[in-house]
Structure 1
Amino acid sequence: MPLPTPSSCLDLRGTPCPLNFIRSRLALEALEPGAWLQVDLDAGEPERMVAEGLRQAGHDVHPLNLQEPAAAGGDVPLPPGAARLLVRRHGG
């Protein structure tokens, strides 16, 4: 199944909690319902906390296996310790 093309991409690697969640939520609010946001962030706790918070807010969150092609810009590799989420804004 092909990955959706995000309407916007956000690089939050190195951004501490809870700022990474807040910035993700604000970026989603700027999108139309049903639009996709790509979020790159630090793996581990930041990834879990942002994904959980966005799910609780009603968004569809899809963690990507970094071996898969990026959803935007072709193959965009991420360094070790990074994670990528595709998030669909609720309401679409």
Structure 2
Amino acid sequence: MTEKPNYSLDITNEVCPMTFVKTKLLVERMASGETVEVRLKGAEPLGNVPRSLAELGHEIVSLIPEPGEGPTGIHHLVVCKK
């Protein structure tokens, strides 16, 4: 993705289920076709947030770790609302 996302959300200090709740609430307010970049970390959010958004029909554009972060470290998730 080369364009800057329409929204950004940092949920690195949140725990499940609030990670998904906060992300879902923002996506619900977005217009179809808009994107959000979500900063998240931890095994549960990394597994649950992208999966749950995809199950709701949204497109997972990318999920990329920040440089130097391990498999459950801080990642950037970009989602396009459908």
- Please, what TM-score do these two structures have when normalized by structure 2? 0.84
Percent identity, please. 26
Question: Where does structure 1 lack aligned partners over 5 or more consecutive residues?
Answer: 68-78
Residue of structure 1 in register with 2:49 after alignment: 50
Residue of structure 2 in register with 1:64 after alignment: 64
- Structure 1 residues 45-75: Cα deviation after superposition (integer angstroms, max 9, x where no partner): 21111010000000111212435xxxxxxxx
User: Is 1:11 aligned to 2:29, yes or no?
Assistant: no
Quote the RMSD (CA, aligned, Å): 1.6
Q: Is the 8 A contact 1:43 1:83 kept in 2?
A: no
Q: Is the 8 A contact 2:65 2:74 kept in 1?
A: no
Q: What is the alpha-carbon distance in structure 2 between the residues aligned to residue 66 and residue 14 of structure 1? A: 16
Q: What is the alpha-carbon distance in structure 1 between the residues aligned to residue 48 and residue 11 of structure 2? A: 13
SS in 2 for 1:51: helix
Equivalent pairs, count: 78
Residue of structure 2 in register with 1:89 after alignment: 81
Greater helix proportion: 2
Q: What is the alpha-carbon distance in structure 2 between the residues aligned to residue 27 and residue 43 of structure 1? A: 20
Residue of structure 2 in register with 1:76 after alignment: none
Query: Amino acid of the residue matched to residue 5 of structure 1?
Result: K
